[in-house]
Structure 1
């Protein structure tokens, strides 16, 4: 395994004994009086071949697994003690490996799959005699396991403080229904080396977001006229978009406005476009807040994402809508589309059409499975210039069985099969303890749809400011380095004006905290400026990030200013500056 150390932490080294690979079941213990453990070899054809686990560059799933049988309840399973002192506070740990189900699932309630949880128990040895109240249980991963199929674990946890009771800790695998056999392959717990990941991402970013540029200031025969002249190239804006959430209160705060206008290119309204805000009472339309926010964005030249036309989650639907019968609801849906979209045709480049359909299905339950596609098609008919997004949460985290990339892709495919013009994928990005490899895995899978991806509601919740800065950097570097991602929108940034309180970049008095400084520094890192002299061939060469530029050339006869753009491309961009 590849390892590096910092402050006594050994990164990318498994803290567990994979005894199925070594000497049978040493290190593993059953949970539950009836549970029995045994070691087995999987059929070669059934061993997983793809994994995001890059603890070692040559890692492949081993095919050896532990089988837990005779489970009498959901708490039964298997466990292994983690060596004392191995887990350290403030370090992000990944839980990796593979889970499958064996016999018994067909007889269990809800046959087909089962939620299996990996828990980290602190303050006890994990055995049968440990008193429950003396243990702190930290979730280390959740998978929706199936019989006959291996599902990869993508768990993450971080400790706020050291385990102090007995100094012991254990990992537990449990949660499937009673009587269902659980298989565990290559379970690993290891510290994540973020700095090593960042080095890889910088190389990836250079390839994805930068391009060689040749500025030609003279033909070969006239190069002497400009050769040696001083030149300065400055990037004015980026092709990659950064945005932030706004509302009527924050745009009255000069500190908020100052940071927003300096560091963000796009906006999204927190609640003011949602149906429950614009029509809280049936028939009483109120677009005053929406109009005021649009006027603010127009003054500063900020395009706005339209969030959202509908919201699929039941408890986000206003009471009067819930009280409608099906015919009345059909009319209300059409009325909402017509009212909103005709009023603001051309004003919102993006729309989140029906928010969080992986986690809610109010309109589909009432009006049938075709209603979601209808919402997309009708939106496109009324406002054909807008890109229409699906938008959901937890997809990038790998720890929500309801929101896997595979389920998101299936939802998108189903919409498209019904004629819905899906134009983009929204990942909300409400993250806790983010891990780059897990985010990248989700982005890679979603990119197979060939749709642009945006992180639409980013916030990283962490009380420790230094860790919060690190968490933001993890997400931002993964997003910026991925070719399918076109923008990141923060779900607020100022203390006291955010949905998640421990996620701010700017304090309430306007001072920028270290998380905000990290964001500013990343934007600075991803901006290209160049100075130098025109060469003897009349050219100036540099490598720049995609976006718009201004060039200033100083010659004996005066100064010249020109603008140009650097677009994506694999070959050098050659531009004639026409001196």
Structure 2
């Protein structure tokens, strides 16, 4: 979901030229947290941005020491990848891929179709069904195909439902192609990389309700039709004090369809200034989310949205809130990291899905 500001394409091209210098061959070794995640067979990921990956050694160290995968926060979105029709800019995505591969990290692709962060030529265009379908297939084919076999999972369709309620969002794709644009996008991604796990990624479904019911009905229909949908992403942008008690129960509804699930964009925002007591409570909330994933056999991982509080999208988009990630602006771990470790350090036990 994050709409954090990113540098323009020309700036990325400049910094990408320094990639070999900015990204040394050996980053900090992975530490306790990735090892614990591996013991459970789950992924622990984090969303990353291009600029700090290139220039900030402390930022890179936090990633390599604490996570097993990365998601490109913005640089794989449409406006970055294809800013002009037919002109693709791979500098940012390649930076993320190079960093991940030289450090043994998996990569989650984010995102192929979304109503935000579209280039002007696309958002303001007037396309008929045949032309828009071709545009979609070309974009998905180029992006997914470039990293075939290197990206483990893709958020193919992001936020297909309206912010509130159970109606499909009136976006460009739905308006021209109808509801089946979702199936078409999944098929296009599958054709470009048959081995990738393909997701619908949504927010506001974690505690059940009308949107979760509507997404379940959509997923059930797609599965019954044999469409290559493999998972549901729970974005999980939580407010402190509002993390649902039965997140695992909502996840199990979808795993009951034979799908996998993942927490894809976890943060827990706290009203500023955050007190020690609130940060302690936030740690318990992070622990609860990771425990929910561990309690569901089909939950494959948890991804935190932002490496540190200083790189989080929260203060810009939710004024008055702060401290949403497990690391402070000074790159020091907060109690939230302890909450994650406590969840991962518990004795593994088989749980029915």
After TM superposition, the score normalised by the length of structure 1 is: 0.48
Partner of 2:200: 390
Partner of 1:425: 232
What SS is found at the alignment partner of 1:268?
Answer: strand
1:507 matches 2:328: yes
Contact kept? 1:246, 1:268, Cα under 8 Å? yes
What SS is found at the alignment partner of 1:281?
Answer: coil
Q: Deviations over 1:62-90 (max 9, x none)?
A: xxxxxxxxxxxxxxxxxxxxxxxxxxxxx
1:441 to 249, 262, 284: 249
Contact kept? 1:244, 1:268, Cα under 8 Å? yes
Partner of 1:480: 294
Counterparts of 2:234 and 2:351 in 1: how far apart (Å)?
A: 26
Q: Deviations over 1:378-426 (max 9, x none)?
A: 211221010111110010034x64x22x211101122234441111111
Counterparts of 1:236 and 1:441 in 2: how far apart (Å)?
A: 21
Counterparts of 2:152 and 2:101 in 1: how far apart (Å)?
A: 13
How far 1:479 moved relative to its partner?
1.9
1:258 matches 2:61: yes
Q: Is the radius of gyration larger for structure 1 or structure 2?
A: 1
Counterparts of 1:408 and 1:492 in 2: how far apart (Å)?
A: 26
User: Residues 303 and 495 (structure 1 numbering): CA distance in 2 closer, same or farther, change over 3 Å?
Assistant: same
How far 1:517 moved relative to its partner?
2.9
Q: Deviations over 1:43-102 (max 9, x none)?
A: xxxxxxxxxxxxxxxxxxxxxxxxxxxxxxxxxxxxxxxxxxxxxxxxxxxxxxxxxxxx
Partner of 1:415: 222
The number of residue pairs the alignment matches comes to 293
Counterparts of 1:236 and 1:309 in 2: how far apart (Å)?
A: 27
Q: Which has the higher strand share?
A: 1
Which runs of structure 2 are paired with 1:313-332 in the superposition (5 Å)? 313=115, 315-322=116-123, 323-326=125-128, 327-332=130-135
Counterparts of 1:318 and 1:418 in 2: how far apart (Å)?
A: 32
Contact kept? 1:357, 1:392, Cα under 8 Å? yes
Which runs of structure 2 are paired with 1:7-406 in the superposition (5 Å)? 237-238=38-39, 239-251=41-53, 252-311=55-114, 313=115, 315-322=116-123, 323-326=125-128, 327-359=130-162, 360-362=169-171, 363-398=173-208, 401=210, 403-404=211-212, 406=213
Question: Once superposed, what is the RMSD of the aligned Cα atoms?
Answer: 2.3
Counterparts of 2:223 and 2:216 in 1: how far apart (Å)?
A: 10
Of 235-244 and 284-293, more deviation after overlay is shown by: 235-244
User: Residues 287 and 324 (structure 1 numbering): CA distance in 2 closer, same or farther, change over 3 Å?
Assistant: farther
Q: Which has the higher helix share?
A: 2
Partner of 1:517: 338
In structure 2, runs of 5+ residues without a counterpart are 1-34, 163-168, 316-321
Contact kept? 1:424, 1:452, Cα under 8 Å? yes
Counterparts of 1:235 and 1:418 in 2: how far apart (Å)?
A: 38
Which runs of structure 2 are paired with 1:459-498 in the superposition (5 Å)? 459-462=267-270, 463=274, 464-498=278-312
What SS is found at the alignment partner of 2:86?
Answer: coil
Partner of 2:18: none
After TM superposition, the score normalised by the length of structure 2 is: 0.76
Counterparts of 1:370 and 1:418 in 2: how far apart (Å)?
A: 12
Counterparts of 2:268 and 2:243 in 1: how far apart (Å)?
A: 12
Q: Deviations over 1:170-215 (max 9, x none)?
A: xxxxxxxxxxxxxxxxxxxxxxxxxxxxxxxxxxxxxxxxxxxxxx
How far 1:495 moved relative to its partner?
1.7
